[in-house]
Chains A and B, each alone.
Chain A
Amino acid sequence: MMTNASNRFLSRSELIGFAVLAAIIFIVLPVMLDTFRLNLFGKYLTYAFVAIGLVLCWGAGGILSLGQGVFFGLGGYCMAMFLKLEASTPENTAIQSTPGIPDFMDWNQLTALPVWWEPFKVLPLALLAVVLVPVVFAFIIGVAMFTRRVGGVYFAIITQAFAAILTILIIGQQGYTGGVNGITDLRTLLGWDIRTDEAKEVLYYVNGVLLFVVLFAAQFVRKSKLGRLLIAMRDQEDRVRFSGYNVANFKIFVFCLGAAFAGIGGAMFTLQVGFMSPTLVGIVPSIEMVIFCAVGGRLSILGAVYGALLVNWAKTTFSESFPELWLLGLGGLFIAVVMAFPNGLAGIWAEQIAPRLAKLTKSGGASVPLPDAAKSPAE
């Protein structure tokens, strides 16, 4: 996995960080958890795709998007449309007035498949759409905003508006989108039943591998000249512009990249959870995704993964133990993290744990101990 990664691509501590995360995802979690819990962690990891994109956009580039749920949702819907068409064979839907179309279309008196659903009958086209649809959408928003130099809080508000618009559109056009119910009852992928335990495990590993592909891509961007320009833009946008760079183009690129990551995450969500609904598109999930990123540490791509895992795990655990009080517990966690550790888990690691470890190794002369699995490794 590290063969084409030069020393400059990953520093020693980064290498350890990646290795520890890989060990957690591919060895520790599958060994410790049953299929049900593993599937849950697979679901949490799909949010990590979005959080990694946010680290690039927000942490590095200073572009705070409160509408990443839009891209997550678009990717998820593209996947769901393919799976729904596969599940809606004329035999399975014989009870309908028009057999062969998805059930919710039939309930809404559609009698034929809408033309724009047609491409989703073909898996390669659907997979392409998982990435391209969010990217094209992000490109349009990006061009419209960044070339007009809309940024900062205004950009955040506008992305939030997009999240609201898309939710309303999906709910309103229920004959074409499934409305509030979303697209449910997804069964097979090219005849392979995605609901079985074996399928859930396979999908978990596929998800893990894709996550690492995305992590490496994000690391590549951060290490490249582009990454340094992003940070420069975040800190002094005008100076970068006066140096002759077209700031808008860089922003559009990184925003599209974040959208592509989110789209992949959304598609994996659909595959692992078995449906897609507008509740994952709107403002609330979009802000939650920013919270994952903030808890993990918005400057660290690995921190983002841990943030998504920790927050969602806490959400599940709190709500199972205290169904009536869990929201308070979760709120307390956010306040604690933001008040005490503004740089999130990655900040705790970099400021508290790493220096002490370094001290230990220096004074004791021992080799570097492996970071504790529960803590977040630094960059």
Chain B
Amino acid sequence: MSDKSPKSPFAAPSRRAVLAGGAAALTASLFTPKALRAADYPTAEVNTTGLAVTDDTVTIGILHSITGTMAISETGSVQAEKLAIDQINAQGGILGRKIEYIQEDGASDWPTFAEKAKKLLVNDKVASVMGCWTSASRKAVLPVFEQYNGFLYYPTFYEGLEESPNVIYTGQEATQQIIAGLDWVSETKGAKSFYLLGSDYIWPRTSNKIARKHIENFLDGAKVVGEEYYPLGHTQFNSVINKIRLKKPDVIYAIVVGGSNVAFYKQLTAAGIDPAAEKPIVLTISVTEDEIRGIGGENIEGAYACMKYFQSLENENNVAFVKAFKEMWGEDIVIGDVTQAAYLGPWLWKAAVEKAGSFDVDKVRAATPGIELTSAPEGYVKVHENHHLWSKTRVGRAQADGQYDVVFETADLVEPDPFPEGYQ
């Protein structure tokens, strides 16, 4: 793999190439390097459970789809994880050991995810796994991780309703993504009526359930005037667009995913509902910078998205992160919310391992709650006892160039609440 160009989206650049490039060195200076030497941490002590740890290396797994329909979404996560691993290695690794990774392809197929997860844990004895994207793939590997006591860092914003001792959720659970955004649109825009819309699977349905409860119970005088779901891959949104024009809601709350997004926003604009006119306001939680590349900036310009991370964030962590990312993977690449969350995985694991002074999964798990990262591109984050992250919620407004202009962020970190009371 090392003889391929680093620009190729799937190729891992050789470690030397990255070291030579200033990217790693520059970012490394932001993360205070700790000079931990392997000799201070004998392998027999830091690895009592037979993981793939030697005196110089520790092996982890990367498990995403790099073929099939999900490849387009998951590639960004793979790239972010490889970048983080390279940067950690450039600083001297973890407990003096370089991270090596074994990459497996989940092939957008849930049984394959389960098979590969098991291979990584049973055959390769990896110390942790960065992986999965869809909820379906996570649900498929979850019993494997729990049975073999593996440790998974899962990057995607998702529906919540889960809290596994073997998973760290580096993306937002549903309430972290939804509630602050609804409050914002209600307070600043005076929105009173909402039309909920989504692709038909567990994440949009659960998210809209939470949105509906919040709108009806917590926003003064606000109401839901419609709620509809369309199969994954659906491309005919004219009937719902007509209904929206009849009901005249203040906000279209859209959780349409994948290829359906392209059709939805194009048809919305074609039907004369220009998101930029804000009549109605279009608010989404499913369109990151990655999706805009498919939709086309001109079709979604002016819509609002509720995320925890946008590529355009101006803090110095993010500036360095975006620079390093582009140096490794090419100038024209965009970085979405999930890519950033995937980037946190190796760093959170490093912090937990160093706090525990051990690679053993049980010790790393015990050390994980309370881990803080001040160097995250999204800003300061902290791991909650429920294995999710405290994160800020941000609202961005889509620009024609495919980037978001950040118009709002919560003052404080939002507590993760995967089983929200009153929203079930």
Contacts and interface: CB of A to CB of B under 8 A. Distances in A.
29 contacts: A97-B424, A107-B202, A107-B206, A109-B209, A171-B231, A172-B200, A174-B200, A181-B135, A181-B139, A182-B136, A182-B139, A184-B140, A184-B143, A185-B142, A186-B143, A195-B143, A273-B114, A275-B110, A275-B139, A275-B143, A277-B110, A277-B111, A277-B136, A279-B109, A319-B104, A323-B66, A324-B11, A324-B105, A327-B67
Given A171-B200, A324-B10, A275 B140 contact: yes
A143 interface: no
Given A108-B205, A186-B143, A319-B104, 14 more contacts: A36-B123, A107-B205, A172-B231, A179-B201, A179-B202, A180-B201, A181-B110, A195-B147, A273-B111, A273-B115, A274-B144, A279-B110, A280-B111, A319-B116
A184 B145 CA distance: 13
B171 to A, nearest CB: 17
Contacts of B109: 279
A97 B206 CA distance: 14
Contact of B419 (A95, A179, A279, A324): A95
Contacts of A251: none
A187 B139 CA distance: 14
A254 B201 CA distance: 37
A275 to B, nearest CB: 6
Given A43-B115, A107-B161, A171-B231, A323 B201 contact: no
Contacts of A34: 122
A97 B420 CA distance: 12
Interface in B8-32: 10-11
B119 interface: yes
B107 interface: yes
B286 interface: no
Q: Say whether chain A's binding surface is mostly helix, strand, loop, or mixed.
A: helix
Contacts of A316: 115
Which of A103, A179, A187 has the most C-beta atoms of chain B within 10 angstroms of its own C-beta?
A: A179
A325 B140 CA distance: 24
A104 interface: yes
Contacts of B67: 326-327
Nearest to B138: A181
A109 B161 CA distance: 13
A279 B115 CA distance: 14
A320 B231 contact: no
Contact of B122 (A36, A174, A323): A36
Given A280-B111, A324-B10, A184 B103 contact: no
B139 A185 contact: yes
B118 interface: yes
B232 interface: yes
A15 interface: no
A185 B143 contact: yes
Which of B10, B112, B202 has the most C-beta atoms of chain A within 10 angstroms of its own C-beta?
A: B202
Contacts of A195: 143, 147
A195 B149 CA distance: 13
Contacts of A39: 118
Interface in A269-319: 273-275, 277, 279-280, 316, 319
A174 to B, nearest CB: 6
Which of A174, A180, A186 has the most C-beta atoms of chain B within 10 angstroms of its own C-beta?
A: A180
A178 to B, nearest CB: 9
B2 to A, nearest CB: 13
B140 A171 contact: no
Interface string B189-221: 000000000001110011001000000000000
Contacts of B116: 319-320
B105 A326 contact: yes
Interface in B72-109: 103-105, 107, 109
Given A279-B111, A319-B107, A184 B419 contact: no
